[in-house]
Structure 1
Amino acid sequence: MENGAAPMSSSLPPAPPQKPKVGVAVFILKGEKVLLGRRLSSVGHNTFALPGGHLEFGESFEECAAREVKEETGLEIEKTEYLTVTNNVFSERAKPLHLVCIFIRGVLADTNQQPQNLEPEKCDGWDWYDWNDLPKPLFHPLEVLVQSGFNPFAAT
Structure 2
Amino acid sequence: MEKTPVPRVGVAVYILKGNSVLLGRRLSSSGDSSHATFALPGGHLEFGESFDECGVREVKEETGLDIEKTEFLTVTNNPFVNDPKPSHYVVIFMRAVLSDPLQQPQNLEPSKCGGWDWYDWDDLPSPLFWPLEKMIKSGFNPFPV
TM-score, normalization by structure 1: 0.87
1:70 is the counterpart of 2:60 = yes
Any idea what the Cα deviations from partners look like across 1:106-129, whole Å, max 9, x if unmatched?
A: 110000100000000000000000
Partner residue of 2:108?
Answer: 118
Show CA shifts across 1:116-151 (max 9, x none).
Answer: 000000000000000011000100110111011000
Which residue of 2 is the match for residue 11 of structure 1?
none
Identical columns (%): 71
Matches within 5 A, 1:80-99: 80-99=70-89
The alignment's TM-score, normalised by the length of structure 2, stands at 0.93
Determine the C-alpha separation between the residues in 2 that align with 1:91 and 1:42: 17
Question: Which residue pairs with 2:11 in the alignment?
Answer: 24
After superposition, where does 1:3-18 map in structure 2 within 5 Å?
14-18=1-5
Aligned match of 2:20: 33
Aligned length: 141
> Matched residue of 2:84: which SS?
coil
The answer (yes or no) to whether the contact 2:12–2:94 under 8 Å persists in 1 is yes
4+ aligned runs moved over 4 Å, structure 1:
none
Aligned to 1:139: 129
What residue identity is the alignment partner of 2:110?
P
Gaps of 5+ in 2: none
SS at match of 1:132: coil
- Structure number, greater radius of gyration: 1
Cα RMSD (Å): 1.3
Any idea what the Cα deviations from partners look like across 1:14-65, whole Å, max 9, x if unmatched?
322210011000000000000001101439x410000000000000000000
Instruction: Give the Cα–Cα distance (whole angstroms) in 1 for the partners of residues 116 and 84 of structure 2.
Output: 29
2:119 pairs with one of 129, 139, 147: 129
Amino acid in the other structure paired with 1:102:
I
